[in-house]
Amino acid sequence: MPTNRELYFLLKKENNKYLPRSVIVSLLMDASDFSDSMNLYSNFDREVKDVERFYNNVADVKKGIPYQYVLGYSYFLGHKINVNKEVLIPRQETENLVVDVIVFMKKYFKEGDKPVVADICTGSGAIARAIKEEIKDAIVYATDISIDALEVAKTNVKDVTLLEGNLVDPIIDKGIKLDVLVCNPPYIEDETRIDEQVYKYEPHLALLAKPGTKYYEEIFKKANKIMNEHYLMAFEIEDNMEKPLINLMNKYLDGCTYRFHKDIYNKLRFLYIIK
């Protein structure tokens, strides 16, 4: 049986565009059931536990299928998140959004407070899961319009109420008032901006919106029905949305302050609205 080192260098030599170093490492970790890369590196000269699984996965990845769908999971802020083709693979940028929300919540809520939070457009449930794990007292809801996505989310969250429906409508229907709303909605208007592999494999329901700002507008419109007097709303956005979103905030939201933040690639990516 080949060792991790042998397979690693064998694949690296191929220079396949779908198999960069990080993907080879993830596939090797999976084949030996290692939960972190430290385990892999400290066993680099050991035989791979399940070589057949490894080769099957490599064959699928070479077809262009995102490796997270091939493995059936991804990681989000250190949490293992089940994924399949019904949900967007959680992104690193979104981790940034959630860290900012958690830092805000730790600053503004005391232990024992029970802040009410909703992850709108939850998909895999990654955002709701990370918030609930960090802010144990939070009461967390998560909504999505896709039943198939919610089936996946169900496997990823604990003590989070999942609600099916359009954006914040399930929150309104249940008469829930929120302290914090987090949302990474579909926001890509121009399909040509989408990476070929993403467009081919990830759900279009999770990606596309026309106009790109339509989901933000719907939420802003209904903010007074769902938010408490003081609140945080945190959104992932596309980098060309600053002006239209400012116009929409001026139209629908009163007495708020807002901040746009960039992601680690220096692109405008987040909007925080505070009241």
Ligand X SMILES: C[S@@+](CC[C@H](N)C(=O)[O-])C[C@H]1O[C@@H](n2cnc3c(N)ncnc32)[C@H](O)[C@@H]1O
Nearer to ligand X by C-beta: 51 or 268? 268
Q: Binding to ligand X by residue 127, rule CB under 6 A?
A: yes
Is 171 a binding residue for ligand X by CB under 6 A? The answer is: no
Which one of 25, 51, 65, 145 is in contact with ligand X (CB under 6 A)? 145
Site for ligand X in 200-239 (CB under 6 A): 205-206
Q: Is 4 in the site for ligand X (CB under 6 A)?
A: no
User: What's the chain's Rg over C-alpha atoms?
Assistant: 20
Q: Is 170 in the site for ligand X (CB under 6 A)?
A: no
Q: Is 116 in the site for ligand X (CB under 6 A)?
A: no
> What minimum distance in Å lies between the beta carbon of 2 and ligand X?
35
Question: Which one of the spans 47-55, 142-150, 226-234, 244-252 is the region binding ligand X (CB under 6 A)?
Answer: 142-150
Residues making contact with ligand X (CB under 6 A): 87-88, 90, 94, 121-124, 126-127, 143-146, 149, 166-167, 184-186, 205-206
